[in-house]
Amino acid sequence: MEHFRSTGVVRWAYTDKDGRYATRVPAETYRVSASYGRELRQRFAPLQRLINPVPIILPVAEQGQATADLRFRVSDATISGQVTYENTGHAALIRVRSADGVNLSTRAAADGTFEIHLLAGQSWTIEAVRRKRVRSCVVQHCM
């Protein structure tokens, strides 16, 4: 959870085996999001095809309780490519962000090749990050 007006994480929690979670926060408006950790995605192949839920903006009243149900979705599109600099492939972190605020990432191999699973019909911004340099482009419609 993040304060809606900040970029810092305020609280985080693990879910139980049924996906339930709870955390205590002061009254404020929060951006609530969920994701699987990189290690889980690498260990369990089916998780690689899951897309993080759309973040929810959630007001929490003084001494109140609020609920945010976050739903993962199965990808139906794949983008693959290669990160190059001066005609040579390079390892990099590949970050993608959808217009509705979903963030995903993967790592490009040493030769720069990568593959990331997304949702079709949405615009995605793709960035390749290496040593604080960012290169980005916008993909209008994934198929």
Q: For residue range 53-71, list pLDDT tens digits in order.
A: 899 998 988 877 788 899 9
- 47 lies in some domain: no
Q: For 83, phi and psi rounded to 5 degrees? A: -90, 120
Shared domain check, 31 and 80: no
Tokens at 84, concatenated: 């190059």
User: pLDDT tens-digit profile of 73-120?
Assistant: 999 999 999 998 888 888 999 999 998 888 888 889 999 999 999 999
Q: Is the distance from CB of 23 to CB of 16 less than 8 angstroms?
A: no
DSSP SS3 for 32: strand
- 46 lies in some domain: no
- 23 lies in some domain: yes
Question: Which domain does 9 fall in, by range?
Answer: 2-35+53-60
User: What average pLDDT does the structure give for the chain?
Assistant: 81
Between CA 125 and CA 48 the distance in angstroms is: 19
- 129 lies in some domain: yes
Work out how many domains the chain is built from and give that number: 2
Q: Is the distance from CB of 53 to CB of 34 less than 8 angstroms?
A: yes
Tokens at 81, concatenated: 């490519």
- 68 lies in some domain: no
Shared domain check, 80 and 31: no
Give the domain CATH number at 87.
Answer: 2.60.40
Q: Is the pLDDT of residue 27 over 60?
A: yes
pTM, two decimal places: 0.69
Supply the pLDDT for residue 126. Answer: 92
- 69 lies in some domain: no
Shared domain check, 29 and 84: no
Mean pLDDT score, 33-42:
74
